[in-house]
Amino acid sequence: MLINPARQWGGLSGFEIAAGVSYINTDSNELGERNSYRFGPAVYFSKKTRLQTNLEIVDPAVAEEDMFWRIRSQFTVNL
């Protein structure tokens, strides 16, 4: 007897791993230049429902500013 893996994982129908790099240069004195690196998984519970969580590391170009990280999450339901 075959068991549907989606039922074992609470309806999980797929997953992906994403990574990205961004360089941000604004004319604003408040933000300045920054490099941003992000990585994280996204899981699909059907064709219409998705949960994504990313770890983002932000590295300012100015040596006096500290590097920081943040976590971003997104839950999408398409009706």
Q: pLDDT band at residue 8, thresholds of 50, 70 and 90?
A: low
Distance from C-alpha of 49 to C-alpha of 1, rounded to nearest angstrom: 28
pLDDT digit string, tens, across residues 21-78? 988 777 666 666 788 899 999 988 877 888 999 999 988 776 777 888 899 999 999 8
pLDDT digit string, tens, across residues 9-20? 667 788 889 999
Residue type, 1: M
pTM over 0.85: no
Please name the helix (run of DSSP H) or strand (run of DSSP E) that holds residue 7, with its range, or none: helix 5-8
Q: 30 is written with which tokens?
A: 């408040």
